[in-house]
A and B are shown apart, each in its own frame.
Chain A
Amino acid sequence: MKKRIIGSFLLLLALTLIFIVISITAGSADISPAEVVKILSGGSSDDTSELILLKIRLPRTFAAAILGGALALSGYMLQTYFHNPIAGPFVLGISSGARLTVAIALILAARGAIVLNSALMAAAAFVGALIAMSAVLLMSSKIRSMSLLVVCGVMIGYICTAITDIIVNFADDSDIVNLRGWSVGTFSGFKSESLAVCAVIIFAALTAVFFMSKPISAYQLGESYAVDMGVNIRAVRIAMILLSSLLSGCVAAFAGPVTFVGIAVPFLVKMLFGTAKPLVMIPACFLGGGVFCIISDIIARTVISPSELGISTVTSVLGAPVVLMIMLRKNKERVRD
C-alpha cells in the first residue's frame, strides 16, 4: 500500500516535470531544453527566445499547473461533500456562477464604475461561486439522487451562462473585448499580477484543505460516523464549501471555463493510488490536475498551430470519457448490490 502511494507520487512528479519541459520547449518557436537552462541562468543572447520563454511559455505553464490543480482539488472536495463521484465545479454550475459575477465586474470596470484589479476579480468570482453553490445546496437538501443533483447543477450553469450572455450582448463592444476570448477558456495571456494573486489564493487554499484532511476523512464515512468521531460537522461543511468555491471561482475568473478536470482527475488519481484517503488524495489531486491541464494546454496550442483550440475542447475530449466510465462503474456496483 505504502509502496504504491510513494510510487504513484513519484510517477506524478516525474510526469509533471516532463510535461513542464515539453510545455516550455514546444511551440511555433522551438526553444531547446539547453537553451532554456541558458536563458534561466541569464546567459542567453537570443532576446526573442528569452521573451517567449519568460513572458509567454513559463507563465502559461505555471498557470495551467496551479489552476488545473485548483480545479481538481475543488472537484475532489465537492465529490466528498455530496458523496457523489460526478460532482464538480463545472457540472454543478459553480464555475458558471463565478463567470457571471466576473462578467458583471468587468463591464462595471469598463464603464468606469469600479477599478478592477486581480484581487477584486477573484473576489467577484468567489461571490458568484458561492451564490451558485447556495442554489445547489438548497436543491441538494430536497434531492437524494446523485444524477438528479447533477442535472440541477447543469441547469443552474445554463441559467448563469444565459444571464452572462444577455449582459454581454447589452454591453458595448469596447466593454467586452476581453470577455469574448475569455468565454472559451485559456491559460494564456496571464499578467504576472493576476498570476501572483492566483498563486497566493490557490496555495493558501491548498494548505488549508490539506490541514483539513483528518476531518474530511471522517466526513467521508457519513454524517453520523463523523459525529461519533467528535467532528464539528457544521464547521467542516462550511469550510469545504468556502474553500471549493474559492478554488473553482479563482479558476473561472482567470482562465474562463475549463470543463471536466474537476471530475476526471480525482477519479484517475484515486485509481492510480488505490486509495481515497484525503491525506493522499489532496496533494495527489493537486499534482494530477496540474499535469492534466499542462498536457491539455500543450495539445490545445499545438494540434492546429498556429491557431489554438479552446482549453475546454481538449479537457472535454480527455475528461468526458472518464466521467462516462465513472457512471458505468457506479451503475455496475448498484446492480451487484
Chain B
Amino acid sequence: MLEIKHLCAGYGRRTIAHDISFMVRGGEILTFIGQNGSGKSTLLKTLAGQIPPLSGEIVIDGRNESDMSRNEIARCVSAMLTDRPKTDMMTCRDVIETGRYPYTGTFGLLGPTDKDAVSEAMRLTDTAELADCFFTEISDGQKQRVMLARAVCREPKILLLDEPTSFLDIHYKLTFLEMLDRLRHERNIAVVMSLHETELAEKISDTVLLLKNGRCTGIGKPSELMGRGSLTEHFDIPEELYIKYHG
C-alpha cells in the first residue's frame, strides 16, 4: 500500500507539483491524467526516489520512506521510466536481470529464486523470445516490454510506470494493459502510472487523479471524473475539436 500525504515535488526551488495526497492499495491502479507539463513525470520521479520530495510524506505499507534504506525501498518499489538504460553488449535477459539487483549478493550473481522470477516476468511480458537479442537491436515497443519485465521481476509491492504505452502499437497497448490487469490481481501489486490515452485509463484504472499545472483538480473513480465535459475542460480542448476527432 502506498500513501502520499501533502507531497510537493519539483527541482530545487522550483515546485512543479503542489500538495498531492492519495492512497493506492495492493491490486489497485491509480492513473495520473494531465497535459504535458502538468507534473505527472515529476511526481512519478519523486515516488521512484529519483528526486527528493520537497515536502510531504511518502508512506509504504505504513512505513515512512525516509526511514527506509535504499535497498528496502528498491525491494518495495520498482519503476519503469521514460528514459532507456544505456547498455553495452547487453542482451535483453541481462537487462531484465538487473531488476533483481536489490536481492542479489555482493557480486550481483543471480540465484535460483532470482532466475525463476526473471523467467516468470519474461513469460508474463511475452519477452522470452527476445532473451538473447541485444537490447540495442530491438524495436522501441519491444524495449518497452523488456523494461516492464525488468520492473516486474523484482516482485515489487508498488509498480511505477511513466507513459508505459507510449511506444506500443494498438495490439501491444491492449495486451500491455491486460498484462497489467493480471499482474495486479495475481501479485496484489499497487500500480501508479501516467497515461496519455484517456480512454484506456478510464477502462483500467480504479482511481484517476487529474493533474493541471501541478495541482490535483480531481481524484476518484474514472466513471465519475472522465465524462466529456470534464475532459475537455481538463485538457483545455475546444468542444468542437473534441467532438470532431474524439467524440
Contact = CB atoms under 8 A, between A and B. Distances in A.
B133 to A, nearest CB: 14
Given A214-B106, A217-B98, A230-B71, A276 B88 contact: yes
B83 A230 contact: no
Contact of A229 (B88, B102, B107): B102
Given A227-B49, A230-B74, A214 B104 contact: yes
Given A228-B78, A229-B74, A232-B70, A218 B101 contact: yes
Contacts of A109: none
Interface string A208-221: 00010110011011
Contact of A211 (B83, B86, B88, B106): B106
A189 interface: no
B86 A275 contact: no
A214 B108 contact: yes
At the interface, is chain A mostly helix, strand, loop or mixed?
helix
A225 B106 contact: no
A220 B71 CA distance: 18
Interface in B137-155: none
> Chain A interface: which size bin?
20 to 34
Interface in B28-80: 45, 48-50, 69-75, 78-79
Contacts, number: 71
A20 B83 CA distance: 47
A214 B110 CA distance: 12
B90 interface: yes
Nearest to B73: A230
Contact of A228 (B81, B108, B109, B136): B81
A331 interface: no
A225 B85 contact: yes
B73 A221 contact: no
Given A228-B78, A230-B71, A231-B70, A221 B86 contact: yes
Contacts of A222: 83, 85-86
A279 interface: yes
12 contacts: A213-B108, A214-B107, A220-B86, A220-B88, A221-B86, A221-B98, A222-B86, A225-B81, A225-B85, A225-B98, A228-B74, A270-B88
Interface of A: 83, 211, 213-214, 217-218, 220-222, 224-225, 227-232, 270, 274-277, 279, 333
